[in-house]
Chains A and B, each alone.
Chain A
Amino acid sequence: MNISMKFINRFVTLPADLTYDQIAYDLTMRTVEVEDVIRTADKFHDIVVGEIKEIKAHPNADALKICITDVGEDELKQIVCGGSNLTEGHKVCVSKPGAEVVWHGEGEPVLIKESKLRGEKSYGMICSPLEVYLGDIIVPKDEREIVDFTELGIECEVGQSVAEVMGLDDVILEVDNKSLSNRPDLWGHYGIARELAAIYKVPFNELSSELPEGLPEYPVVIEEPERCNRFTATKIDNVYVKESPAWMKTLITNAGMRPINALVDITNFVLLAVGSPQHAYDSTHVEGDKIIVRLAEDGEKLLLLDEKDLELTHDHLVICDTRKPLNLAGIKGGKDDSILDTTDSVILECAVFTAPGIRRTTAYFNEKTDAALRYEKGIDTQRADLGVSMALSLFKEIYPDCVISAFTDNYPVKTENAVIDITQDFLDRRLGEVLPQAEIEDILTRLGYEVSFDGETYHCITPTWRSTGDVSIHDDILGDIARLIGYEYFKKQPLKISFESSVNQVRADLARKLREYLAYRCGMNEIFTYPWIDVKFINAAGIDTSRSIRLATPPAPELGYLRSSLIPGMLEAVDKNSRYFDEFSIFEAAQVFEKGEYRPSTEEEVLPVHHNLLSGVFAGKNATELFFKVKGVIEGLAGYCHCESLDFAQKDKPSWADDKVWLNIKSGKKVIGSIGLVSVPALAESGIKMINAAAFEFDTDGLKPYPSRTNEFVHLPQYPLVEQDLSLLVDESVTWAEIRDAIKYMVKDLRFVEEYRGKQIPAGKKSVMLSLKIGNDDSTMTSKQIEKKMNGIIKVLNNKCKAELR
């Protein structure tokens, strides 16, 4: 919303030494966010009043004249001009060199320079209203008509700034509408002025709320009092369409609306002033001389002012005459009831519609009008008093001969003042300091509260304009006091520290260690993907969606499923990154969802089942190597993250994995996830080419964190260990696990070195090289003992694994 300071000054006199930047700052800190301060005079620089002293013919062009003009400088200036209404002795609008004007009121501003026109020197430019941003206020009859201040009867002096002459030397505060959303009273200059008066502790000029008396009634029926709390109708005769006075057009322009004609401008001016929307009907169009406020019939039609054809439903409130809907209540006027050039009598509506219905209808038709914006915040019914009173006084001022011939105030629901008690004790505790009674009463009174104090409690009668939901509990009053004093003026108070639950947080620590392990130990990059996932990658991963959750309105049709696994997102990320990298590794920790029953907080709330998953991928060329990298990551995880160690088994193949290369991850006896190579079909369906991927995915809730680090100290061996390498020849079917398990109880240490298949190895066999350490606990091994032990080991390997030495 644009706040015009000239408008504000009608309601409050602010201290003279106050800068506009300061006002913007104070409003921002205490009331609403001011996003920008715009000085409207800026664009009028070097545009001044000049007086035409003499008009001469142009020797080379019939359409142009040479005007000898006084622009308030030492000498008279020669200006070439093609204006149709140039008159000697008249005051006009002159753009001097350096001014910026808009050619015919269109396009980017153009810089004025001294120049020659058809061979004659021209100092500057005598301008039409369109060229100097005055098109809305001074409407030219033809394109060549220039601004003639003398003709218009506008008082001014030679050399004076045109912005000043026209009242356009205003300052506009651009207020963020979002910050106004809970303050319906601030949707007009009057409300902002009241806040400023309270902030600077200066008097506030209350407006009259007097209504017409003793007039005949104009029939108004409200069928839906819950939707329309009040409807006033005033019939005003003996009016006609004309331009508004310049001061009004200027204020309307400055506040961001466009002047239309005096009848419409009065309603807009009142809206801008007190935030009370109004509507003027041409009374000849109200058939049956009766207004009915009712819900529309389903399918009923209404043609709006802007030719938009609405098909209404039974939820839409309309203002009707006895035959047809006239307009969409509180939102927009209809084409049929609008003010015409022939209008000579109007019905002025000043009504109060309730917020929820306006909000629904506005959203339904996407009609965010100035009136709707205000109604949907919740307007007090008393605001109509201000609206009617101000409108009628403007009618009397602008149309001295008008006749107010009828008035109705149909007023089924009245906004009640919220009455709230707030104790001194509560204020002291929550503000963190003790404020004097006089100060509290002063602040609240300036904001419109009626306050009485009994030594303990402030009894506050909230003004109606704050009683439509904004202020309802004592905390709201606390808020008003705190903000008016200014949050920045409260003493900072240190926080009482208590260390109870913050120190030992095993689960939070585990979650962090897992990520840090993967990033900093394993060299992986953490990624985030969206929870809604492209069905292409879900299908590629072979994931069954029968237990998946869907969004009602997904970001795109193919993104309807919420993920039940992180693997599809991984596939998508691999696909994307494989365009730029041959080798990379990524991981993601996130929640996934499936149908089921889960009650995190209360019995009544049943949510789908959530799983906290961690997934990662190594992508590159050598599939086998990638798989063992992933396996190594899982094997090393427990040690770094201080949880019970993980194990592998083959129980349940994940849908995305290669038939041969996969393992389940076990924590204790429980399967918590899987590792494996991404299958060829999964890669192909994901569009991943030229690259392999090994993945893991597991449920981190299946990990069992230790309460602390638990590795134990082991004494260093007292006697030296003997290291021996063995190279075995075994059948292809013999696994490392079989070899390891056969002899692990006989050795101090056992390490796999390498597997080998080649020319020297017979078909169906492989060579396995291992390294082991043996030793006695109570003595150094003798060579005899070593020989005996090694023979024993080889014998066991031979028995259990049919292994032979190479």
Chain B
Amino acid sequence: MLEKLEQIRREGFESIAAAPDREKLEMVRKELTGKKSSLQEVLKSLGSLDADMRKSVGMKANEVKNQFAEKIREKEEELIANASVVEGEIDLTLPGIEVPKGALHPITQMCYDLNDAFRSLGFEIYSEDDISSEKFAFDNLNFAADHPARASMDTYWLEGTEDKRGNERLCLRPHLTGGSVRYLLEHGAPARFVYPGRVYRNETTDARHERAFFQYEALIVDKDISFSSGRVMIETILEKVFGRKVNVRMREGFFPFTEPGYEIDMECLLCGGKGCKACNHAGWIEVMPGGVIHPNVLRAANLDPDVWTGFYTNIGLDRLVMMRYGVDDVRLFHSADLRFLKQFK
């Protein structure tokens, strides 16, 4: 009997060791310790043995049973430690399951980056409509009556209005600045607001010139502000756009609606100001015009130029986006070409 137990133990250990997974191990457990197991049969037959034998066989059988339990527990731990959720081979280099990949237009992205920056500086976001009149696009902004920009070679006038004047001569707005007077007429001063949008010029197009392009203009009107505050504002904005500090300089410039006016240059990011092809070896790139709002423009907005002053900043969004990504053809922005647009995440 003891020999039989010994054999049960040996064979039991072997099948425990051979169990390949937890399912098989459970079957082995049932085979070894279940009601129909050989061990159970031995235990059942104890009654037919003499007392001494019963004692030693009983002890031995219990010992085997405990050993089985122990071995199975060890085996189970081993199997858990080495198990995988997935059966068989798996190619981990297969691509993941796609999430929908849409994107905003790179110009919209830039515009929203600027919105975030300007709103953090307390600016309101305003928008003017695409069609304007000569009154708002030119007269209010101190453009001379015979300024060349008023010609149909420069501005898209609407059919049937092109030979009229002022309020009655309508166009696709050639710049955003007309919107400044609209806002001020509606809201008065003090004011601080941005008004991004698309503008239109009758131009011959090439890689650097477009008929429809985007501007982002900001205006502050207040009492007793000096134009030197404008520089701080511009530095803050550019830092947001490019993600790092960007040196800027203000220099003399001229626009009908400003006095004084200035051009704002930023240090060329490609060469760090040393001079390269991109910046025409100047180290600086012209990014935005700006200037102190001209008294005649304030008057057009029913504001007293002796009380109020302010300054404009006008950012060419297309150019800024081209610089941000190294885009070399401005016409791509209106191409609706997804091979281009899908690149901007």
Question: Could you tell me which A residues sit within 8 Å of B by CB distance?
Answer: 28-33, 35-36, 179, 181-183, 355-356, 359-360, 363, 429-433, 469, 473, 475-476, 478-480, 482-483, 487-488, 490-503, 505, 508, 512, 515-516, 518-531, 549-555, 560, 562, 569, 572-573, 576-577, 580-581, 584-586, 590-591, 593, 598, 600-602, 604-608, 610
Contacts and interface: CB of A to CB of B under 8 A. Distances in A.
B344 to A, nearest CB: 9
Contacts, number: 251
Contact of B260 (A482, A524, A580, A607): A482
Given A600-B182, A601-B186, A515 B104 contact: yes
Contacts of A527: 105, 336, 338, 341
A528 B260 contact: no
B262 interface: yes
Nearest to B334: A528
Interface string B295-326: 10000000001000100000000000000000
Given A479-B292, A569-B336, 14 more contacts: A31-B252, A35-B280, A355-B146, A479-B261, A487-B252, A487-B262, A488-B250, A493-B226, A495-B121, A502-B124, A554-B156, A586-B338, A607-B170, A610-B129
A508 B125 contact: yes
Interface in B78-133: 99-105, 107-108, 112, 115, 118-119, 121-125, 128-133
Given A518-B102, A526-B103, A581-B338, A606 B167 contact: yes
A529 B121 contact: no
A499 B102 contact: no
B224 interface: yes
Given A527-B341, A528-B105, A580-B339, A495 B229 contact: yes
Contact of B102 (A476, A585, A602): A585
Given A475-B259, A551-B156, A528 B102 contact: no
Please list the 8 inter-chain residue pairs (A to B) with the smallest Cβ-Cβ separation, ordered nearest first. A523-B100, A432-B226, A479-B260, A487-B250, A573-B336, A550-B159, A552-B162, A501-B124
Contacts of B130: 531, 591, 593, 610
Contacts of B261: 479
Contact of A492 (B115, B190, B222, B228): B228
A735 B151 CA distance: 60
26 contacts: A32-B252, A179-B254, A475-B294, A479-B259, A482-B260, A483-B262, A487-B251, A487-B262, A490-B228, A493-B226, A493-B228, A493-B229, A493-B232, A499-B122, A505-B125, A521-B100, A525-B102, A529-B334, A530-B334, A551-B157, A552-B152, A569-B336, A591-B130, A593-B131, A600-B128, A607-B129
A601 B250 contact: no
B202 interface: yes
A718 to B, nearest CB: 36
Contacts of A590: 198
A586 B108 CA distance: 14
Contacts of A32: 252
A547 B55 CA distance: 110
A183 B254 CA distance: 9
B264 to A, nearest CB: 9
A519 B129 contact: no
B122 A492 contact: no
A445 B337 CA distance: 58
Given A525-B341, A530-B212, A516 B100 contact: no
Contacts of B135: 604-605
A473 B336 CA distance: 47
Contact of A552 (B158, B250, B338, B339): B158
Contacts of B168: 606
A487 B229 CA distance: 11
B136 interface: yes
Interface string B137-152: 0000000101010011
Given A479-B259, A600-B182, A605-B133, A502 B228 contact: no
Contacts of A585: 102
Contacts of B335: 576
A565 B172 CA distance: 17
Nearest to A591: B130
Contacts of B182: 600-601
A695 B97 CA distance: 26
A512 B112 contact: yes
B211 interface: yes
Given A30-B251, A495-B232, A605-B135, A500 B122 contact: yes
Contacts of A591: 129-130
Given A502-B119, A526-B104, A429 B333 contact: no
A197 B122 CA distance: 43
Interface of B: 99-105, 107-108, 112, 115, 118-119, 121-125, 128-133, 135-136, 144, 146, 148, 151-153, 156-162, 167-168, 170, 172, 181-182, 185-186, 190, 192-193, 198, 200, 202, 211-212, 220, 222, 224-229, 231-233, 249-254, 259-263, 280, 292, 294-295, 305, 309, 333-339, 341-342
Nearest to A26: B251
Contact of B249 (A432, A488, A495, A505): A488
Contacts of A512: 112, 115
A550 B118 CA distance: 36
B158 A551 contact: yes
User: Which of A493, A552, A577, A610 gathers most chain B CB within 10 Å?
Assistant: A552
Contacts of A531: 130, 172, 200, 212
User: Which of A28, A430, A528, A607 gathers most chain B CB within 10 Å?
Assistant: A528
Contacts of A494: 229, 232
Nearest to A503: B119
B105 A526 contact: yes
B239 to A, nearest CB: 14
Given A498-B192, A523-B102, A525-B103, A505 B124 contact: yes
Given A473-B259, A531-B172, A482 B227 contact: yes
Contact of A502 (B123, B148, B309): B123
Contacts of A473: 259, 295
Contact of A519 (B104, B153, B193): B104
Contacts of B160: 550, 552
Contacts of A523: 99-102
A476 B259 contact: yes
B211 A555 contact: yes
A702 to B, nearest CB: 17
Contacts of B233: 495
Contacts of A560: 159
